[in-house]
A and B are shown apart, each in its own frame.
Chain A
Amino acid sequence: MNKRVHNSDSAVHGLLWISPWLVGFAVFTLLPVVISGYWSFCDFDGLRPAVFTGTENWTTVLHDPLLHQTVRNTAIYAAFALPIGLALALGLALALSARIPGRAVWRAMIFLPTLMPLVAVGIIWMWVFNARYGLLNLVLGKLGITGPNWLTDPQWTMSSMVILGMWGIGNAMIIFIAALQDVPSELYESAALDGAGPWQRFRSVTLPMVSPAIFFNVVIGVIYVWQIFAAPYVMLPGGGPGRNAYFYTMYLYDLAFTYRRFGYACTLSWVQLAIILFLTALAFRFGRRWVYYRGALQ
């Protein structure tokens, strides 16, 4: 009995100590989430009282061609940027886990860009992609290739955004490096004794052992790519020619803050949440088959 009272006191004390955070969370996160849920059923311009319109915004979702284009664009972007980014991050992590000169410097150099403000990143990449004086076309020119008009040719805008996406692979790389350091060396030794070559060791030892890190990066990556916004918004406001780089969050932002269709924007934010939840659930569903947890086996 005394122990139960003591536990209850501890819980109250604990809640009191974290109450500033709880109040902040309730007022600045939970309440807006609830209100946006209500506004998703309203016509609200931000200035006049919201008018309840039932499911109008939700049915508009089915018939809005621009929304469908942004979903398509974002899905294409995700389909390329996510796997390429993960593969590159894993490749770099493997290379930088080897004993090479200046390893710490290389790691820092690849990780540092992830700390830069995204608007600044967008402006830098506008110059990198500049068709006439850009770094990328300069390098391609040295190789005898005439570089395209990355940001003005509708056939290349999506590719340029995917390339830009690689700027932030430092985060995933660091997680992979940590996971690689955790792979027991005796597994590699056993495999080598059994005659496994480098590719077999990578496929049968490294990949299963870092699969939780891959899974983590996939989930975080899905959330990230479906919210891509700042850099493309700076580089290609409106998505560029053909609106080929007009992504979901850019449209959502324009709806709310440029067109003042807050109600519909709230609906789209809930749809975005549903898409991300669905893809995350899918990742978890399929993750069971290929993610190997050492702790779980024990």
Chain B
Amino acid sequence: MAQLVRTVVIAALCVGAGALIIWGPRGGPPIDPDRVHVTYWEKWTDFEGAAMHALVDRFNATTGAERGIYVEYVATTNVDMKTMVATAGGDPPDLAGLWQRNVHSFAASDALTSLDERARSAGLRDGALLDIYEHACEYHGELFALPLTPSTIALYYNKDALAEFADALRDAGLDPERAPRTIAELDAYADIIQRSDARGDLELLAYLPGTAGSFAWFWQTWPIWFGGRLYDASQKRMLVDQPAFIDAYTWVSKYAERFDRRRVARFEAGLGNFASPDNPFISGHLAMVRQGPWFANTIRQFAPDIHYGVAPFPTIDGVPRAYYEEDVITVPRGARHPDEAWSFIEWLYTAPPQHYSPPDGSTGMGYEYYESRADGKTVRKPMPPLRPIEWLCWMHCKNNPLRNPDPAFVETHPNPAIEVHEALARAEHADTVPPLPNWAEIENEFVAAYADIWAAGPPVRERLRECQRRIDILTKLTETRLARHAVAYP
């Protein structure tokens, strides 16, 4: 009997292996040996990866074919770390899709190829890009990257949740038809919009500045809404013990206190991940969240019927302020084909508006049609042609890096409130990641301070002073390290 079982198992394994060999997955068609093979590491998968893949395919079929270039898109997790290791090992990809926050760190370590001259020749340094996005790609005034998909942060609010508490909001002199504009108004909304279950556990809150439904990199942004700046350009440092920081994080700490820190922690523990149906905004646990334009994609994916609005995030004085960031494309130092890699970047920005082919399994949205909302009805209309870079941002549901976007970009954009995000990108008060080569280390110090303030409630001023002391030590250390290579901080 045992012998029989063994024979059957071995036979089944052999049949499975044989089937895999005969019908299993195959590699792509061989790359034409006469074409220069450009490797492109990028962080995106899923629909974001599919969008860039479609662009790469279009380039390979058109300009790439003419110039003898073939770009291979490789989706890569931890792309920044892997690019750094590959660059250190002398075998980097020709193109690397990084985050804006990597640019200064990589450039200070001489890990990126300057794109300044190439961009100038292509007319991309003469006002083609929005200043904020262009400057974020510079290190010491030199361009080391180009924006791919930029974004600004705004307030997403659930109109139905506000309507549920409309009477109480009106009694308090608030308007349930619109989002709060000042921090004081936000606090007033928060006092009213809340619900607990029979056990006393929080079920619904207006807003939560802590960890839920947010990302760690949001945490350092609070001083912006309180009228401060994250980076002191005159002192070339991040000063976290300045008044705007103290005011902002005192407010954060008190926010946790007013609902009882312990209850808030339990509430947060029950909230789901961002890209899931359990997202606290989508599941109805938070009436308002601070998010980027991509959030419209998440809402459409998991709860397309949510009745929501978008507005600038409330500020201390009611003056709209913005936080922006962007994904970028770079050519690592030591890349084998920098000129061919640049051809692809240049094509992204300068190719004429065109239509794109849907990859296998695509729903068609963004390829053949877009959804136009008029009179409360959603109508499918033929997709107009867009430039590659604009179509990429459209597909990612993000802002446009160009100073003069194609009108069709806003008209057809899948985020119905993209105008709000576009206006924020042009706001007088817009701030971003401090341009520091040691930002990763400083940010982690700050995140540690924030986690303490939110979870444990230590005296804010003292905790921020301690954080500042650590930041000063790290700043001095980086100054010394860069000086060894004749590079000025920051």
Contact = CB atoms under 8 A, between A and B. Distances in A.
Interface in A239-293: 239-243, 254, 257-260
B427 interface: no
B84 A130 contact: no
Contacts of B36: none
Nearest to B210: A152
Contact of A132 (B269, B484, B485): B269
B84 A238 contact: no
B265 interface: yes
Nearest to A134: B269
B441 interface: yes
A149 interface: yes
B451 A260 contact: no
B232 interface: no
B88 A47 contact: yes
A208 interface: no
B383 interface: no
A243 B451 CA distance: 9
Given A132-B266, A149-B265, A154-B452, A47 B440 contact: no
Nearest to A51: B484
Contacts of B440: 258-259
A168 to B, nearest CB: 25
A169 interface: no
Interface in B442-490: 444, 447-448, 451-452, 454-456, 470, 481, 484-485
Interface residues of A, number: 29
A238 B447 contact: yes
B444 A47 contact: no
A28 interface: no
B172 interface: no
A48 interface: yes
Contact of A242 (B268, B441, B452, B470): B452
B456 A242 contact: yes
A259 B441 CA distance: 6
From DSSP, what is the main secondary structure of chain B's interface residues?
Answer: helix
B380 interface: no
A239 B360 CA distance: 43
A46 interface: yes
B451 A257 contact: no
Contacts of A46: 84-85, 88, 109
A43 B481 contact: yes
A153 interface: yes
15 contacts: A45-B109, A46-B85, A46-B88, A65-B470, A130-B270, A132-B201, A132-B269, A149-B269, A152-B268, A152-B455, A153-B262, A154-B455, A239-B448, A242-B455, A259-B441
Given A130-B269, A131-B266, 17 more contacts: A45-B481, A46-B84, A47-B110, A48-B485, A66-B470, A130-B270, A133-B269, A154-B452, A154-B456, A238-B444, A238-B448, A240-B451, A241-B452, A242-B456, A258-B81, A258-B444, A259-B438
Interface of B: 81, 84-85, 87-88, 105, 109-111, 201, 262, 265-270, 333, 438, 440-441, 444, 447-448, 451-452, 454-456, 470, 481, 484-485
8 pairs of A and B residues whose beta carbons are closest in the complex = A241-B455, A132-B270, A131-B269, A149-B265, A47-B109, A46-B88, A132-B269, A259-B441
